[in-house]
Chain A
Amino acid sequence: MLAQTVRRSLLEARSILPPTFLLPFRARITTASHTLETANTVPESLLRPGQHIAEDLKEKTQLPKDTKNAPLTPSTPSPAVPSQQPPNTPQTTEQSSPLTPQIRKLLPLLHSQAPHYMTLHIHGHPYLLTAGDTLRLPFLMPRVQPGDILRLNRATHIGSRDFTLKAPEPAKGTRDAPKKVFYLDERLFECRATVVGVESEPMRVKEKTKRRMRHVRRVKSKHRFTVLKISEVRVKGLEEYERAVGA
């Protein structure tokens, strides 16, 4: 039943959309769930009972109803419409001018959907986090104590239920240049984590033997790990971001 409606809605969506070359290039902000694709069969109020986008916000974004689906390309699990996203993704528009028209249009929507998640990178490793999460790092963080407040400032994704703001794909490392990861502008969000404490694993004993020797050496190891609690995950609104960029 559900599959049928989804398929039908997908087909309808495809018929509504203009041909590929007329569509804008791949949106930075994409929908992250199927809910928007079923928008033409189910009333919007039923789809998103928990949250609503204020009317003035809707007017501010000025999305005409017909083209609403175009910049909000359906989320990644859409094998039925692969041709929707042309391969020529724009390269790093963030660096030159952070306030692209799409950011202007879609950041208020992302900002208004309250619980946000982020993919935050610590020492190059990604962690998918949201407010209130407890994160046990795989290492002991040096020079921090319980109670310290860390500011996490490298993110590649900021998402809510329906929208995701993605950073460009990382550039693969070559012989001439090392790998380059493109992060989102750190003025877009604020993420804070509190150092909760240090956790330790149970002692591990590894028996080391040499051939033709009765002696067995036992190597002990007991690692310690820093535990963080994500205390704040906040996405800035458009006005605040404009102020931060302008200043």
Chain B
Amino acid sequence: MPYFRITLLRSAIGLPTKSTGVLKALGLRKRMATVYYPVTPDVAGQILRVKELVDVAEVDEPLTRAEMKERRRPDPGYFVEKRGGALKKL
């Protein structure tokens, strides 16, 4: 099932209230926020209302917020090789 990936690139400040309302309905509260919706005529119409503000792509699977954050997380760059057993005893 295909999904729309919608990212808010420009804010709706200074635009009619209807645009703000559509963004609120889509769940886009701030710039660079990303939401996923199934491809339906309703969502397509909503996107068309704010097409100047958002970036849209069609993807196969939606990502959750946690997954999106995990993709951005850098590598820790370390692992504990040996526990300091000698110091623990003191």
Contacts and interface: CB of A to CB of B under 8 A. Distances in A.
Nearest to A193: B78
Nearest to B85: A147
The B interface is mostly helix, strand or loop, or mixed, namely mixed
A149 B77 contact: no
A145 B81 contact: no
A129 to B, nearest CB: 12
Contacts, number: 65
Contact of B78 (A122, A145, A175): A122
Contacts of B71: 178
Nearest to B86: A147
Given A175-B7, A175-B57, A149 B82 contact: yes
B84 interface: yes
Contacts of A144: 80
Contact of B75 (A143, A147, A154, A175): A154
- Most chain B CB neighbours (cut-off 10 Å) among A120, A121, A143, A193: A121
Given A147-B85, A148-B82, 13 more contacts: A120-B77, A122-B78, A123-B77, A143-B80, A144-B80, A147-B88, A150-B80, A154-B75, A154-B78, A175-B7, A179-B72, A193-B78, A195-B84
